Structure 1
Amino acid sequence: MKASHREQLDIRGLRYNVRHWGAADAPAVFFLHGWMDTSATFQFLVDALALDWHVIAPDWRGYGASEWLGRPYWFPDYYGDLDALLAHYSPERPARIVGHSMGAAISSTYAGVRSERVAQLVMMDFLGLTATKDTDAPGQLVGWLDNLRKAQPVRGYRDHDAFARRLQLANPRLSDTRAAFLARNVSCTLPDGQVTMAGDPWHKVPSPLRYQAADVMASWRLIKAPVLMMLADKGYVSDRFADDPAEIERRLACFADLRRVTITESGHNLQHDQPEQVAAAIEAFLTRD
């Protein structure tokens, strides 16, 4: 495996953990992880890259070794965090960004409203959430208020081997070797010795505000950078819009400069299932200086 190193820095008043692979003077590319995940999720993908890159992969606030809030999270903070991270690591030039799932959600909206800061964007198995109705709003707010009154449960596993088996249950495509790596590198150990996913359980509390697909799509229409849309043939996008394939095309039409690749025999975590396919597609898309 390619070696990584980590550094910690202050991002908007929070301790942020940032993982690096590759030489500092190699072309930089930012890898942004998804919900209930960490930067280490990209290890297999980085190992499959054929060219020399400086991969910069933060743990988002509330994940991995970055600071946890222990209270509800406000999603727009991630846009502010990304803005600050790019200002720190790429102040003079627009960035290449690869985002998986929530990382793609954050980076794609950001690429619309800060179009001058993004040179190229890769979105991995994310095309927005399903549309919500205005009648959903009251119940969503009630649920959030109810959650504020109670502690958020942490699900622990006896040891790393038990956690690895749980990861394979969720994703049968994971080999024993990859599951063992993830169990030790996307987890943390609780005071009682149990192992759990390294994500603040407050992330599991649904937002008090309903998802506005039209607002997100409006930002996508402002993106000037070339976009690579990487969809898994058995991923969340295909599942989420299985009954409405026209909606997939409607959302894809938002991107002015789009390339589309399907990763075969892969679930949502395509960086785990098919890292070689993903790496080849990314490197074919990204241009070298």
Structure 2
Amino acid sequence: MKPTGPSSQTYFSQRLRLHYADWGNEDAPPLILVHGGEDHCRSWDWVASELQADWHVIAPDLRGHGDSQWTADGNYPIMNFVYDLSQLVEQFGYDQVTIVSHSLGGNTALRYAGLYPEKVRKIVAIEGLGPSPKMIEERNATPVHEHWRKWYADKRAKATRKHREYDSFEEALSRMHAENSYLTADQARHLCEHAVIRNE
């Protein structure tokens, strides 16, 4: 079953226009759903539709994701995501929120909870702890100057990268489903409808 849609809203953080999906029910306790790195807020639609009767569900698009604005320099340090989440909570004026989050969203939410424990009633973080101790050890074995040279090279490579373009929506949908074979056809279509942007 395709979930019914939320309203599309915006807020500002560090002069960026950021988007969030608001599922209504403003008198209910607030529940913020924070998506992962290669995702967008509408990935939570099936979860949100199940919870909206008991919660005021808000699902933000992280900066550079979904319908939120990109940064001018293409730089996305984790603490800026934390700041954006903090701004969202502050602008709603909530004393406390419950957060369910995944991956990058989980890392963001856990850092927010660490900074503002009094603001977080409960938190669920799925795969949000960041790199494993083994990955950190490997990273620390790389000399600092090599780390930064690689970072610069990666930034240069990304600067020349173009958006994926498809000749039709059906072509984009086919790729979405091929890359995410666990999705049903209806789920893939729904997510693709909210992920693509029509060019001129």
Alignment: residue pair count: 190
**Inter-partner Cα distance in structure 2 for 1:58 and 1:88:** 13
1:127-174 Cα offsets, whole Å, 9 max, x none, are 322332322344331122124444233222332222222222222111
Shift, 1:50, TM fit: 7.4
Greater RCO (Cα-Cα under 8 Å, separation 6 or more) = 1
Residue of structure 2 equivalent to 1:63: 65
CA contact (8 A) 1:2 1:21 kept: no
Residue of structure 1 equivalent to 2:172: 163
Q: Indicate the SS of the match to 1:189.
A: coil
Residue of structure 1 equivalent to 2:81: 78
CA contact (8 A) 1:25 1:54 kept: yes
**Inter-partner Cα distance in structure 2 for 1:56 and 1:72:** 25
Residue of structure 1 equivalent to 2:151: 144
Is 1:43 aligned to 2:45, yes or no?
Answer: yes
Shift, 1:103, TM fit: 0.6
- 2:18 partner letter: Y
CA contact (8 A) 1:105 1:128 kept: yes
**Inter-partner Cα distance in structure 2 for 1:189 and 1:141:** 36
1:190-239 Cα offsets, whole Å, 9 max, x none, are 44xxxxxxxxxxxxxxxxxxxxxxxxxxxxxxxxxxxxxxxxxxxxxxxx
**Inter-partner Cα distance in structure 1 for 2:196 and 2:122:** 31
**Inter-partner Cα distance in structure 2 for 1:27 and 1:18:** 17
Using the aligned pairs only, state the percent identity.
Answer: 26
**Inter-partner Cα distance in structure 1 for 2:16 and 2:81:** 12
Distance 1:66 1:89, change over 3 A: same
Is 1:5 aligned to 2:7, yes or no?
Answer: yes
Distance 1:161 1:81, change over 3 A: same
Residue of structure 1 equivalent to 2:186: 177
Shift, 1:8, TM fit: 1.6
Distance 1:41 1:141, change over 3 A: same
Distance 1:19 1:181, change over 3 A: same
Distance 1:50 1:5, change over 3 A: closer
- 2:163 partner letter: V
Q: CA RMSD in A?
A: 1.9
In the superposition, the TM-score normalised over structure 2's length comes to 0.85
Unaligned 5+ segments in structure 2 are none
Shift, 1:42, TM fit: 0.7
**Inter-partner Cα distance in structure 1 for 2:197 and 2:39:** 12
CA contact (8 A) 1:100 1:125 kept: yes
Shift, 1:21, TM fit: 0.6
Shift, 1:10, TM fit: 1.7
CA contact (8 A) 2:51 2:57 kept: no
